[in-house]
Structure 1
Amino acid sequence: MQQFAAYVGIDWADRKHNFCLQAGDEDTVEFGCLPHRVECIDEWARASHQRFGGPIAVALELAKGPIVSALQKYDFFTLFPINPSTLAKYRLAFKPSRAKDDPSDAELALDLLLRHPERFAPLKPQSVGMRSLTVLIEQRRQLVDDRNRFTNRLRSALKEYFPQTLDWFEDIDTMLFCDFLSRWPTLSAVKRASSKTLDGFFRAHNCRRATLIDQRLKSIRSAMALTEDPGIVTPYRLHAVTLVAQLRTTLAVIDVFDQEIAALVRTLPDFALFDSLPGAGPHLAPRLLAAFGEQRGRFRNAVEVLQYTGIAPVTERSGKKSWVHWRWQCPTFLRQTFVEWAAQTINKSFWAGAYYRQQRAKGSSHQAAVRALAFKWIRILYRCWQTGKRYDESVYLNALRRRGSPLLGKLSLSDG
């Protein structure tokens, strides 16, 4: 580890940041508290640089956030993220009582960096485009989670007074459904609509299958109300209309994010590498690209990717006992990315489908089989990422054939 003019441990918070500071050539430490205001952070940063010069090492238990963004503006700071669980276990080693306060946590972060510098890598920001993409896909995922919450609540509300709509529409997270329920929020309202009006509504929403429209119209005419009690219908109608408004806004915003992501991801050098993957598509290709990033030295081998993303299982041994389980501490969104993509490849990649069925035949659950498939895929992707070569299914199948892989069986390559 390089030598620094000073070392700082920071325990960050919403409104203030406690810090513990030690000059590079001294053993004594200083404590302080920094308000989370831009001018205060700037004043402290410039004063530290004037006092010590540079560079200055800063240890803190996060890799992104307001304080990280604020400190990255200064080239004389080198930031060292420390995993919060690492700091918590380190604290517990010295304080079995679990006593905790912010200044002591800042001191522990500083102590960890000074005593075990080889354990922590400095934070190296990726390009503006890659960082923007990472934030955009994470925000999009949050919006998708919002959409799912709204649809679940809407489905629950409709079951209380207007359950027929759930039979008339296969998906309720669409503008078609939102427009239908906004216009006819109750069964009595839609029954009053003429067949011509309903037919025109469906055709205006690109639903042009005459059989489907006729089926819906017949179902509407024959439908019976679950209840006509105003004490139930009135509040649930209002609730449903409110949820539809929220869902409509969320769907529109997701479309905006999709357009922004699609435009941005095409400007990144490795986009073609991930866009060509089977089953990736417009949503998973950007997520896979962001998962690997653009810094080839970030992971020394595929095993580090597997461990970091939580795909690789953990083995615990004690005496004669051995227990294998999945990783509890990992970036959940990254693990979801690889698992969701692996599931998409089952029907789009010959060997992936064969491997999944093999795992299922061994007694693995669907999720366990998909995680095992993701494990296989990451090793392949890591190689592609390192060499810059696109994945080629035929090349990989030929490699499996040369190794005599049982996945291929007696089928010829053309059969795959």
Structure 2
Amino acid sequence: MTITCGIDWAEKHHDVTLVGDDGHIIIHRRISTDAAGFTTLIALLTEHAGDPTQVPVAIETDKNLVVVGLQAAGVTVYPINPRACARYRERHSQSGGKSDPGDAFVLASILRTDQHMHRQLPQLSDGSKGLKALARQHQEAIWALHQTQSRLRSVLLEFYPQALDAFPNLSHKAAHTFLAALPSPATAQKLTIAKTITLLRRSGRGNRVGLADKIRAALTAPGIRQPAPVENALAVTVQGLIAIIVTMQASVEALEHALDEAFRVMPSARIVQNIPGLGTVLGARVLAEIGDDPTRFTTASGLRAFAGTAPITRASGKSHYVKARKVRNKRLADACHWWAFNAITRSPGARAHYDRRRAAGDYHNAALRNLANKLLGRLWWCLAHDQSWDENAAWTSLEAVPKLLAA
């Protein structure tokens, strides 16, 4: 008898349901999220199937520790999109009811009826998993840093706009040095030329001709003032945000260094590094999201759809139109966008393709998406055949390239 398993995961417990090939529930069990709970899960699979590796498991995530444990045990895991699971739930009930055991049953039923329609979780190497974790955390850290800098800008606009006139770029070390020492208009009024020069030297800028006078004039410019208690409170906020930003910048640099080291030891890094427009960070992000499982993308079109560079067609009756793909790997899509943007200044072929798309009427972003679609196809071919990038071969006329590359 064929058995499928559905797991509705949660923070404190998981609901597990085993379903037979007749669609009936074999067993339902709620397990803990610790090692004891995982042992119980493997015991359930072994008891009812004999070999736990013969039971496919559906779950609405690809990052939970139970997923890591199942893959390590040799179990095939199918990550199901929560939106897809919600549509399947409507097949079983139209009332709108929902429960954790019910969701586990729906997940198991998905594999019983439509297993061939879903992708199993790729078998990535430990190095590829580590690269993916670093690439994503590096990007998350940058996003958090930008958010904190935006928060600092908003606070300064509230009571200290002179600081933004002096330092439009709040990511610069000079801005941090001055704002840490002069966090309010009241403290800025006491600023002297000698103190300005000292702070400039401390920030590594030095006293360029007229720079100290310009900064002092901007910081001491008259303006509307908040009441003293409000100004003092916001000054403390500014100093706190500056300390956070400095720490976050150091964290981003440390993550980028670790990302560079993890990227360089990947076997495919030598191929990716030689592609125009892909440096260490973008190259690491692209390679991390693609992974190193050779069975994951058997065609270039599959990779393009995953990245969202391939458009989709909607046709019904007399209606027929093509639009950009929205359901995609957003991190890979973002990396491909900037890859294409960089490539047009580093690859003559990429520049010519971009210019052709603009001449055909595409806007900038549409032309970049089309270029990214082409670049991904070439990257897929290089990875699949373990070949380095060849600028001449990459942009040969479509009549001369293999059909695998022509898209």
TM-score, scaled to structure 1? 0.87
Aligned to 1:375: 373
Distance 2:306 2:181 in 1: 49
Aligned to 2:164: 166
Distance 2:182 2:355 in 1: 46
- The alignment status of 1:70 with 2:87, answered yes or no, reads no
C-alpha displacement of 1:403: 6.2
C-alpha displacement of 1:257: 0.5
CA deviations over 1:368-390 (Å, ceiling 9, x no partner): 22222211211111111112222
**Contact 1:147 / 1:173 at 8 angstroms: preserved in 2?**
no
Provide the aligned C-alpha RMSD in A: 2.7
Aligned to 2:56: 57
Give the stretch that moved more between structures: 294-303 or 202-211: 202-211
What is the DSSP-based 3-state SS (H/G/I as helix, E as strand, rest coil) of the residue aligned with 1:30?
strand
**Contact 2:197 / 2:207 at 8 angstroms: preserved in 1?**
no
Distance 2:210 2:241 in 1: 26
What is the DSSP-based 3-state SS (H/G/I as helix, E as strand, rest coil) of the residue aligned with 2:98?
coil
Q: Which runs of 5+ in 1 are unaligned?
A: 405-416
Aligned to 2:298: 300
Aligned residue pairs, count: 399
What is the DSSP-based 3-state SS (H/G/I as helix, E as strand, rest coil) of the residue aligned with 1:17?
strand
What amino acid maps onto 1:184 in structure 2? Answer: L
CA deviations over 1:27-53 (Å, ceiling 9, x no partner): 652222222232222233235325532
CA deviations over 1:299-318 (Å, ceiling 9, x no partner): 11111111112221221111
What is the DSSP-based 3-state SS (H/G/I as helix, E as strand, rest coil) of the residue aligned with 2:16?
strand
1:8 to 5, 8, 20: 5
C-alpha displacement of 1:262: 1.1
What is the DSSP-based 3-state SS (H/G/I as helix, E as strand, rest coil) of the residue aligned with 1:317?
strand
1:195-206 to 2 correspondences below 5 Å: 195-206=193-204
Task: Say if 1:357 and 1:199 are closer, same or farther in 2 by CA, change over 3 A.
Answer: farther
Distance 2:167 2:219 in 1: 16
1:270 to 247, 268, 271: 268
Distance 2:226 2:217 in 1: 18
Distance 2:355 2:271 in 1: 27
CA deviations over 1:90-140 (Å, ceiling 9, x no partner): 222333333322222222221221222322343343111110110111111
Aligned to 1:83: 81
Provide runs of 4+ in structure 1 moved above 6 Å.
401-404
Distance 2:200 2:184 in 1: 17
1:104 to 102, 105, 109: 102
- The share of aligned pairs that are identical, in percent, is 25
C-alpha displacement of 1:88: 1.8
Aligned to 2:394: 396
Q: Which runs of 5+ in 2 are unaligned?
A: 402-407
CA deviations over 1:1-45 (Å, ceiling 9, x no partner): xx86x4211122222222211467996522222222322222332
C-alpha displacement of 1:291: 2.4
Distance 1:292 1:35 in 2: 32
Distance 1:78 1:195 in 2: 68
Task: Say if 1:197 and 1:26 are closer, same or farther in 2 by CA, change over 3 A.
Answer: closer
What is the DSSP-based 3-state SS (H/G/I as helix, E as strand, rest coil) of the residue aligned with 2:295?
helix
Distance 1:52 1:364 in 2: 55
What amino acid maps onto 2:127 in structure 1? Answer: G
**Contact 1:279 / 1:344 at 8 angstroms: preserved in 2?**
yes
Distance 1:87 1:137 in 2: 28
CA deviations over 1:340-398 (Å, ceiling 9, x no partner): 2212222222232333344334443332222222112111111111122222324435x
Aligned to 2:28: 31
What amino acid maps onto 1:45 in structure 2? Answer: I
Aligned to 2:233: 235
What is the DSSP-based 3-state SS (H/G/I as helix, E as strand, rest coil) of the residue aligned with 2:322?
strand
2:15 to 8, 13, 18: 18
What amino acid maps onto 2:350 in structure 1? Answer: A
1:258 to 249, 256, 259: 256
TM-score, scaled to structure 2? 0.88
What is the DSSP-based 3-state SS (H/G/I as helix, E as strand, rest coil) of the residue aligned with 1:29?
strand
What is the DSSP-based 3-state SS (H/G/I as helix, E as strand, rest coil) of the residue aligned with 1:59?
strand
1:128 to 123, 126, 129: 126
Give the stretch that moved more between structures: 311-320 or 237-246: 237-246
What is the DSSP-based 3-state SS (H/G/I as helix, E as strand, rest coil) of the residue aligned with 2:78?
strand
What amino acid maps onto 1:339 in structure 2? Answer: H
What is the DSSP-based 3-state SS (H/G/I as helix, E as strand, rest coil) of the residue aligned with 1:164?
helix
Task: Say if 1:190 and 1:335 are closer, same or farther in 2 by CA, change over 3 A.
Answer: same
